[in-house]
């Protein structure tokens, strides 16, 4: 299921929704329509949604033509290399003959199934003991199996054709207007946003949402980088609207960005105080997770724990927390 809305003149938002009895996901794709247009993000890889994406692009083109305006879409780019943002790129390339643009880090992920799996799996030494060679091999086999199941479940599709490499901080001319590509790592190491300073419009990917915090978690999230990226967005001149990849537009960008910065500062302090209270005993990651989410199920805890792991790494890097081995377990203690 998908829908189209013109959110500002010549900027169209296509919302794709997939759902079954286990999950429901929605993602926004943006079409900057005109004589030399561009598609930002490309949604899901299911056959139905890939087909609907092409139909929606044609519908936008026909609408523009009915107004007596030219509409030629020539390029597409993803905000970052997560499956729900790039899985439609290959289809756009194959059916509409679009040029696919990507930064070097994005190109690694969107062009190779093998590389994609390797980049997102690993035995984290943050909460796990260094494993033996045998256990590492066993873990790798297990990770590959899980990756294959997930990619089949969500129809993750890769770009098989040429990818045009661009700098992660550069400018694009789209329909005669300047759009700035800005590298905003934090949620992922390859995140970019697209900013039109004249219009005050930012296409934000997953960098910030209207109602919920952006998910952060290993292996590609970095809290320090994320906070720096948000501070950078706060400094953008004339920022009026943020159009995120999930959910409704953000009409008070400065206020919302500051809210998210404050949220992470507060959560970081809560985590540090929790570890401080544990004294010399310290806390394992599992105990920390239980303290924050005592009633959450196993699968939900795995998702909720992402920000804890990222924040632990942030505190370790700052030197506020240290990691020790006690009774064959990794514990975290506040530095005194």
Look at residue 93 in the predicted model and tell me its pLDDT. 97
Residue boundaries of the structural domains of the chain? 2-106+155-251, 271-334
Domain 271-334 has CATH 1.10.8: no
Read off the pLDDT band of 122 (50, 70, 90): low
Closest CA to 22 of 209, 154, 145, 210: 154
Pairwise CA distance, residues 44 & 78, whole Å: 12
Structure tokens at 138: 């066993």
- Can you give the pTM of this predicted structure? 0.93
Query: What confidence tens digit (pLDDT) does each residue in 321-333 have?
Result: 999 988 788 999 9
Query: Which CATH number among 3.90.1280.10, 3.40.50.720, 3.40.50.2300, 3.60.15.10 corresponds to the domain 2-106+155-251?
Result: 3.60.15.10
pLDDT score of 137: 63
So what's the pLDDT on residue 206? 98
Query: Which pLDDT tens digit goes with each residue over 24-69?
Result: 889 999 999 999 999 999 999 989 999 999 999 999 999 999 999 9
Residues present in the chain in total = 336
Q: Of 177, 194, 210, 180, which is closest to residue 29 (Cα–Cα)?
A: 194
CA dist., res. 266 & res. 272, Å (int): 10
143-158: pLDDT as tens digits? 677 677 777 877 899 9
The average pLDDT across 299-323 equals: 91
């Amino acid at each position: 299921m998908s829908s189209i809305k013109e959110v500002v003149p010549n900027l169209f938002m296509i919302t794709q929704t997939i759902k079954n009895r286990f999950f429901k996901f929605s993602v926004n794709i943006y079409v900057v329509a005109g004589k030399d247009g561009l598609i930002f993000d490309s949604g899901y890889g299911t056959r139905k949604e890939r087909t609907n994406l092409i139909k929606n692009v044609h519908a936008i083109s026909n609408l523009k033509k009915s107004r007596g305006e030219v509409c030629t879409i020539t390029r597409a780019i993803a905000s970052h290399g997560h499956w729900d943002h790039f899985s439609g790129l290959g289809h756009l390339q194959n059916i509409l003959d679009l040029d696919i643009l990507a930064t070097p880090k994005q190109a690694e992920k969107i062009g190779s199934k093998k590389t994609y799996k390797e980049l997102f799996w690993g035995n984290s030494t943050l909460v796990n003991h260094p494993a033996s060679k045998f256990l590492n091999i066993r873990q790798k086999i297990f990770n590959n199996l899980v990756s294959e199941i997930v990619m089949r479940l969500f129809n993750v599709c890769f770009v098989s054709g040429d990818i045009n490499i661009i700098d992660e901080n550069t400018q694009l001319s789209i329909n005669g207007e300047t759009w700035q590509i800005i590298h905003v790592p934090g949620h992922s190491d390859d995140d970019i946003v697209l900013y039109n300073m004249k219009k005050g419009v930012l296409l934000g990917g997953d960098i910030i949402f209207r109602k919920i915090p952006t998910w952060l978690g290993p292996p590609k999230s970095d809290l320090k980088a994320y906070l720096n990226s948000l501070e950078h967005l706060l400094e953008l001149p004339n920022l009026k609207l943020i159009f995120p990849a999930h959910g409704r537009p953000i009409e008070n960008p400065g206020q919302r960005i500051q809210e998210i910065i404050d949220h992470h500062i507060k959560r970081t302090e809560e985590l540090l105080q929790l570890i401080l209270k544990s004294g010399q005993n310290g806390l394992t990651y599992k105990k920390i997770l239980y303290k924050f989410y005592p009633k959450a199920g196993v699968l939900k805890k795995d998702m909720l724990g992402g920000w804890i792991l990222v924040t632990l790494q942030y505190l370790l890097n700052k030197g506020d927390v240290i990691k020790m081995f006690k009774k064959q377990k990794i514990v975290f203690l506040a530095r005194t």
